[in-house]
Structures are given as structure tokens and as C-alpha cells.
Amino acid sequence: MTARKRVSQTNQAKPIEHANQLTLALLQPDTLLTTIEVAIALRLHYRTLEEWRKAGIGPRALRMGRLWRYRVSDLLAYLDNPASVA
């Protein structure tokens, strides 16, 4: 095993459960987030959110002109019960 492999294996980030939800809970409920910000918080690719939005699934999104935004309160509702939102 090379030194490069050893370093990369020991420095791998371990996911902390519910960290994203806690971070979102610290924001005001009416705060609007971009698709990229939501993708980072949910650890998804932004295209996944776009596809979900087109299919009518996933967290509720708001259209503001040509841009899409997500309310923190809608994201928290989605994380609490993914089947009930969209």
C-alpha cells in the first residue's frame, strides 16, 4: 500500500447523522436557499433536485422569476416526513 492510499483512507470524512438538519434548524424558517445550497445540505447532486422538482417529488420549491428557491421550513418538513411533502 502506498503512502498516498494510507493518507486518503485515514482522512476520509465520516458523515455525522442529522448534522444537516441541525444546521438548517439554526436558520430562520423563512430563509430561502438556492438549489445548490439545498443539494449540499441534503448531500445530493443539484440535478437530482431538479429532476425531483420536475417529477413533483422532493422538498417544495418556489419559483422566483427564472430561479428556484427552497424555504428552510419546507426542507425541515421534508426531512421529517419525505412521503408527505411535494
Is residue 71 within 8 Å of residue 31, measured between CB atoms? yes
pLDDT tens digits for 12-59? 444 444 556 657 767 788 889 999 999 988 889 999 999 999 999 999
Closest by Cα among 29, 16, 21 to 71: 29
What pLDDT is stored for residue 11 in this prediction? 47
Rounded Cα distance between 8 and 22, Å, is 28
Rounded Cα distance between 45 and 60, Å, is 17
Strand partners, 10: none
What pLDDT is stored for residue 30 in this prediction? 87
